[in-house]
């Protein structure tokens, strides 16, 4: 990967850099360094330093925070587009949801700002990472709370203005985003009461979205991970330790890392979460 200039007000994001950033974020979430809706000081330090080490791009916390915010809005919009639909496939050629024109027409009539996803959606592998980053911040887990009217208004504005701050996301195979970190503020749109009501209603179903989209794949993944765990010689001899391993694999992010790691690193990875 080529190096990007450190100076200036823009950060360049290609697909590889975005995936690296998401991997680092998921890892810090797993380590408990996102105690609220954002990472703590240690989490941002780890992400910033590791991102520079891997990519050679010396992006400060503000540039990475901007990318986090951009991805979160894009993820929320993608989830809203898919709300209530099950069994959707992925078209690897079009790089988006494999659905008939009738489905798109119906969905875009409700969420017109999601039109860009008809030509360039969020790939399943990236969506899983974004779920690990943002599920619990927006709709599930200990950080969820019903937003007040101001919060709903802000979310409505986020969805309505998504296309303004999300440049370079066209259907190209090697898309590049350019994020501005300058001090110029973009104008805020006039609040739309109908849009607010729509978003308020959709928030109440976000938890259901997460359950519906992950239920079958989650069960299958647990089964596969336990099968892998059982291949280690003598793994069941220490029953207490075995049960601890299985409990750790109850977390979807840990399962993802467990399956991805080379065999010799899987058990050390699980042990790293156990207190002495």
Provide the mean pLDDT of the chain: 73
**Same-domain status, 169 and 225:** no
- C-alpha 111/C-alpha 50 separation (Å) is 37
Asked whether residue 3 is domain-assigned, the answer is no
- 264-to-20, 138, 226, 241, 270 alpha-carbon distances in Å: 23, 36, 16, 17, 12
User: How does pLDDT run across 172-192, given as a tens digit for each residue?
Assistant: 344 445 454 444 445 555 444
Last residue of one domain, picked from the residues 176, 204, 232: 204
Confidence of residue 271 (pLDDT cuts 50, 70, 90): confident
Asked whether residue 1 is domain-assigned, the answer is no
- 3-state SS track over the chain: CCCCCCCCCEEEECHHHHHHHHHHHHHHHHCCCCCCCCCCHHHHHHHHHHHHHHHCCCCCHHHHHHHHHHHHHHHHHHHHHHCCCCCCEEECCCCEEECCHHHHHHHHHHCHHHHHHHCCCCCHHHHHHHHHHHCCCCCCCCCCCCCCHHHHHHHHHHHHCCCCCCCCCCCCCCCCEEEECCCCCCCCCCCCHHHHHHHHHHHCCHHHHHHHHHHHHHHHHHHHHHHHHCCCCCCCCCHHHHHHHHHHCCCHHHHHHHHHCCHHHHHHHHHCCCCC
User: Which domain covers residue 260, as residue numbers?
Assistant: 213-276
Asked whether residue 29 is domain-assigned, the answer is yes
Residue 65: per-residue pLDDT? 92
Confidence of residue 52 (pLDDT cuts 50, 70, 90): very high
Residue 193: per-residue pLDDT? 47
- 209-to-22, 23, 82, 204, 258 alpha-carbon distances in Å: 21, 23, 8, 10, 25
**Same-domain status, 35 and 154:** yes
Asked whether residue 15 is domain-assigned, the answer is yes
**Structural domain count, the chain:** 2
**Same-domain status, 39 and 131:** yes
Q: What is the pTM of this model?
A: 0.51
| pLDDT above 90 (res 75) | yes
Asked whether residue 5 is domain-assigned, the answer is no
User: How does pLDDT run across 198-245, given as a tens digit for each residue?
Assistant: 444 444 444 444 444 444 444 447 888 888 899 888 888 888 889 888
Mean pLDDT for 30-56 is: 91
Residue 18: per-residue pLDDT? 94
């Amino acid at each position: 990967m080529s190096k990007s200039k450190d100076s200036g007000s823009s950060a360049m994001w290609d697909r590889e850099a975005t995936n690296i950033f998401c991997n680092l974020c998921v890892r810090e979430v797993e380590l408990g360094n996102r105690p609220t809706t954002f990472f703590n000081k240690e989490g941002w330090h780890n992400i910033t330093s590791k991102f520079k080490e891997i990519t050679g791009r010396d992006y400060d916390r503000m540039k990475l925070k901007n990318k986090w915010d951009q991805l979160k809005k894009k993820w929320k919009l993608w989830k809203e587009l898919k709300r209530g639909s099950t069994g959707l496939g992925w078209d690897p050629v079009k790089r988006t949801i494999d659905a008939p024109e009738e489905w798109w027409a119906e969905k875009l009539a409700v969420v017109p700002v999601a039109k860009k996803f008809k030509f360039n959606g969020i790939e399943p592998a990236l969506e899983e990472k974004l779920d690990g980053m943002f599920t619990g911040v927006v709709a599930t887990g200990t950080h969820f709370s019903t937003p007040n009217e101001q919060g709903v208004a802000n979310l409505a504005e986020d969805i309505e203005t998504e296309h303004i701050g999300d440049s370079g996301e066209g259907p190209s195979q090697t898309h590049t985003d350019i994020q501005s970190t300058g001090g110029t503020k973009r104008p805020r749109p006039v609040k739309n009461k109908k849009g607010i009501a729509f978003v308020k209603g959709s928030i109440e179903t976000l938890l259901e979205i997460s359950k519906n989209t992950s239920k079958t794949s989650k069960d299958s993944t647990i089964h596969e991970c336990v099968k892998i765990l059982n291949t280690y010689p003598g793994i069941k001899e220490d029953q207490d330790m075995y049960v601890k391993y299985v409990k750790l694999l109850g977390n979807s992010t840990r399962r993802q890392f467990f399956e991805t790691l080379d065999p010799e690193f899987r058990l050390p990875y699980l042990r790293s979460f156990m207190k002495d």
